[in-house]
A and B are shown apart, each in its own frame.
Chain A
Amino acid sequence: MMQRGRWKRWLVALAILHGIIGCAGFFAPYDPAEQDRERPYLPPMKIHIVDTTGHFHFRPFFYAVHLRDGSFDQFEESTDQVLPLHFLVSGARYRFLGLVPSRMHFFGASASRIYLLGSDAYGRDQLSRILNGGQISLLAGLLGAGLTLFFGVLIGATAGFYGGWRDGLLMRVAELFMALPWLYMLLALRAFLPLTVSPPWAFFLIIAVIGTVGWARPARLVRGVVLSAKERDYVRAARGFGAKDDYLLRRHVLPETSSVILTQAAILVPQFVLAEMTLSFLGLGVPEPVPTWGSLLASLQQYSVLVSYWWMYLPALAIVPFFLGYLGLASALQQDAGTEKIEKATSGVR
């Protein structure tokens, strides 16, 4: 018999990851839009515990970094200036979980800014941008998945349960939506929108776009499950006892789809995070200076950045644990659903 409940571990891992991104303001040392024009394209700084004279420092520290004379992007560590790392320091203003104003940061330094993951073309802290960018990308993924599943279940259940012309119509529309060349449509759509889209509006636009594009596939899945569920003996029996449609749907049919929906959710979230990244990469996403994972990666479109500054790839790495988490969760859920089915079937025999 297969192991059950593995999904709980995945869920905990994901919760921790989301918690970190949710508290981005706290974990990020700086405001993601703050520019440090003296340090563009600064490579990640090294954290030391032993200094050049061989002394061990209890508190981790780093050396101040400055531009090499006459150079644009070559930096030097000045080893005479030891800057200790401080924890729980007061810094840039942010809103904790988007609500509570705060100035408390997990770490920071007093005399100079510290760049654990380097800086971008404007000297903005890459770590702060990745953490804050994750908020938008993940929220877009989660809300997009929620919206998609809502429409998917609504339409899929209607089509599957009522059948007939409703089924035909809804499924043809779904096929149409899947066949459209979305990327080009989006580029065209952007031309009709007002010129200026403020960051919050751009964000809602992305979610709306993801939601409208994505519903077709879950709708077809849900329809399939509903089609088979409504022919089950106990559903027929309930109908025979005079149960109404809404009762049947609520009590017997929709619960059958729950495992499909959960698995779909776990698959769709990373997919939609990727969709947001694609949109932002193409410049259709949230505008500067607000970071998202897609717009962080957009600078890699330039050959010079690609070959010169390796730390600009790091946002791409940031998504890896999230994707692993979600896909692991999806497969664990699927397995569980499979086991459950077998158990149901065997218990029926017994």
Chain B
Amino acid sequence: MGMARLSTFGRWLSCGLLLAGTGILSRPARGVPRQITLSEELVTLPGELGKQGGRLVVSLRAEPKTLNPLTAADAPSREVILGAMQADLIHINRATQVTELALAKSWKVSADGLQYTLTLRKGLRFSDGQPVDADDVLFTFRVCLDEKVHATQRDLLIVGGKPIAVRKLDSQTVVFQLAKTYGAGERLFDGLAILPRHLLEKPYNEGKLAQTWTLATPPNQLAGLGPFRLKEYVAGQKLVLERNPYYWKQDTKGNRLPYLEELVFLFVPNADAQVLRFQSGETDLISRLGAENFSVLSRQQSSYTMSDAGPGLEYNFLFFNLNEPGEKTSPELARKMKWFREVKFRQAVSAAIDRDSIVRLVYQGRGAALWGPVTPGNHRWGNSAIPHPARSVEKARALLKEAGFSWITGPNGEPALVDADAKPIEFSILTSSTNADRTKMATLIQDDLKQLGMRVQIVPTEFRSLIDRVTQTREYEACILGLVSFDADPTADSNVWLSSGGTHLWNPSQAHPATAWEAEIDRLMEQQLAGPSYEQRKKWFDRVQELLAENQPMIFLASPDILVGAKNSIGNFHPAVLEPYVLWNAEQLYFKDASGNARP
């Protein structure tokens, strides 16, 4: 669940690396792991049987900003919190992309699709040993929906304009009442961590909930339902999690999971440094690899294995500034915006882009060319009827001619494209300066468009000032960005396609849809959001994809494969194309030999 996230290093880089004054926080002794009792309803996971023990080390690109699931918005925080420390009622299996029961042992949907009844497992306990009941679930939804808390999940819990009403049936059963049917159904509950009321009610009543559970919080004041719990935080260096002895999953032999004794996140701010750490054996897993580093590691693999999990859900695209020119818009930009709003101009640009070269030269072939937002990694929602036209400069020329553009001979004898007022077609493409892949795409596109007689400048810009230009000042001409969907369901990206959405990048946060096709997309997205069945919803979302392909508000380019690596000694390693790519089954990972224990 969650909104599409702008994928870039920029956001991670923004995290401070030093928290002054926080030394080593060691964990006071807590309850001993209990034996499994009959009153507990544990989930039994199939898969290889593992060995207990070991310490798994992975790197994070930045320190998590918080350990509070309500305010976590940055990627490192989400990876730590959702990947290892917290759990939800119903969970999307990252490998199969379908929902499965988690903290809930059953769910029922009423005939009108408005009421969800969830029953909790018996004997659930937080990582500090306190039992879980329906009041914790009620508390979680109360704080998530409280406007004063500013929970990141709040928007998703408002269905049909009204917050979800939650009521307790008995100590194990909770009823969720929706104002309108919700197409994605039980996927709603994924990623919504159930919080311990006994620890958080006091700060909530004092109005301090958003500030609790920072990295400096002593481990005994932090509890969750995930496979691991906080052990130690060393500012600027690492975050150490230890096994949660009360975790609610077991293997087929009845051993309580997780297998690993410790999970350590090292803060390694730079992708190349992460590669070096992995190469030297300091870290056990690596993900979010670029194709170049992947092939460097592949060439020398011996004690580790690199694997290509196939295309993920990241889609990269070029888009033009389609905002209405305002009073502050410079006359030059306003003049160029006229070209950008011409749909044939955008279609011509799309036709002239050599997507295969992008996949080959940027991703070294480890990726897929895109003609729509749904990547091949998404198995259920792609519209196979969307054409995949090969690159055609002739077609692009014909489109431009139809739209009233023409060619003259430029100063150096090469053909130059001009508009009806004989003004040369020149524009700039913004890219994030920290993302070498997108700058490379821009360089290829620059050369592709040169063959149409367009003069393109590439402007690598610091990521935050780029986002500011795109969403706030709107002073830019074109831009290349990428988005990563958290879930395969189209609902996850509604804020990209709805014209009122903040991530509707080409013209964000509109009061009224600016064009007829945007209005139609709005309507279709609203319909599919409430849709009754997968087939019906798919039909509507297929139409959204068609409209996107016709109007090219985003010129989709390519999607990189999820590239990961793991030491050979790690068992149950099954990378997924949904985040967290390698830690989604952290509870099942184990060391086949004793090496995991050997390290200090």
A334–B284 alpha-carbon span in the complex (Å): 59
Contacting residue for A195 out of B296, B433, B442, B459, CB 8 A:
B459
Indicate with 1 or 0, residue by residue over A107-140, a CB within 8 angstroms of chain B CB atoms.
0000000000000011100000000000000000
Check if A288 is an interface residue, CB within 8 A of chain B: yes
**Given the known A-B contacts A289-B443, A303-B293, are A121 and B457 also in contact in the complex, defined by CB atoms under 8 Å?**
no
Q: Which residues of A contact B457 (CB under 8 A)?
A: 196-198, 287
Q: Distance (Å) between the CB of A305 and the closest chain B CB? A: 7
Q: Which residues of A contact B442 (CB under 8 A)?
A: 288
**Given the known A-B contacts A37-B357, A196-B457, A196-B459, are A72 and B428 also in contact in the complex, defined by CB atoms under 8 Å?**
no
A288 touches B446 (CB 8 A): yes
A40–B357 alpha-carbon span in the complex (Å): 10
Q: Which of B434-454 contact A (CB under 8 A)?
A: 436, 440, 442-444, 446-447
B272 touches A302 (CB 8 A): yes
A196 touches B428 (CB 8 A): yes
Check if B361 is an interface residue, CB within 8 A of chain A: yes
B292 touches A302 (CB 8 A): yes
Check if A35 is an interface residue, CB within 8 A of chain B: yes
Indicate with 1 or 0, residue by residue over A279-314, a CB within 8 angstroms of chain B CB atoms.
000010001110000000000001111011000000
Check if A191 is an interface residue, CB within 8 A of chain B: yes
Check if A73 is an interface residue, CB within 8 A of chain B: yes
Q: Which residues of B contact A191 (CB under 8 A)?
A: 462, 465
Check if A337 is an interface residue, CB within 8 A of chain B: no
Interface band, chain B = 35 or more
Nearest neighbor of B291 in chain A, beta-carbon distance: A72
Check if A8 is an interface residue, CB within 8 A of chain B: no
Nearest neighbor of B442 in chain A, beta-carbon distance: A288
B296 touches A73 (CB 8 A): no
A-B contact count (CB 8 A): 73
B290 touches A72 (CB 8 A): no
Q: Which residues of B contact A33 (CB under 8 A)?
A: 447
Q: Distance (Å) between the CB of B328 and the closest chain A CB? A: 15
Check if A93 is an interface residue, CB within 8 A of chain B: yes
Q: Which residues of B contact A303 (CB under 8 A)?
A: 272, 275-276, 293, 296
Q: Which of A146-164 contact B (CB under 8 A)?
A: none
Q: Which residues of B contact A195 (CB under 8 A)?
A: 428, 430, 459, 461, 469, 475-476
Nearest neighbor of B275 in chain A, beta-carbon distance: A303
Q: Distance (Å) between the CB of A299 and the closest chain B CB? A: 9
Check if B261 is an interface residue, CB within 8 A of chain A: no
Check if B166 is an interface residue, CB within 8 A of chain A: no
Check if B364 is an interface residue, CB within 8 A of chain A: yes
Check if B314 is an interface residue, CB within 8 A of chain A: no
Q: Distance (Å) between the CB of A5 and the closest chain B CB? A: 44
**Given the known A-B contacts A196-B428, A288-B443, are A302 and B276 also in contact in the complex, defined by CB atoms under 8 Å?**
no
Q: Distance (Å) between the CB of B250 and the closest chain A CB? A: 42
A307–B296 alpha-carbon span in the complex (Å): 8
A289 touches B361 (CB 8 A): no
Q: Which residues of B contact A197 (CB under 8 A)?
A: 457
Check if B31 is an interface residue, CB within 8 A of chain A: no
Given A73-B364, A122-B447, A195-B461, 17 further pairs, Cβ under 8 A = A72-B360, A93-B412, A93-B413, A122-B440, A195-B459, A196-B477, A283-B433, A287-B459, A288-B446, A289-B443, A302-B292, A303-B275, A304-B272, A304-B293, A305-B292, A308-B292, A308-B296
26 A-B Cβ contacts within 8 A? Answer: A33-B447, A35-B444, A37-B360, A72-B360, A73-B295, A93-B412, A121-B361, A123-B361, A195-B428, A195-B461, A195-B476, A196-B428, A196-B457, A198-B457, A283-B433, A287-B459, A289-B446, A303-B272, A303-B275, A303-B293, A303-B296, A304-B272, A304-B292, A304-B293, A304-B296, A307-B296
A residues adjacent to B (C-beta < 8 A): 33, 35, 37, 40, 72-73, 93, 101, 121-123, 191, 195-198, 283, 287-289, 302-305, 307-308
5 closest A-B pairs by CB: A304-B292, A303-B272, A72-B364, A196-B428, A37-B357
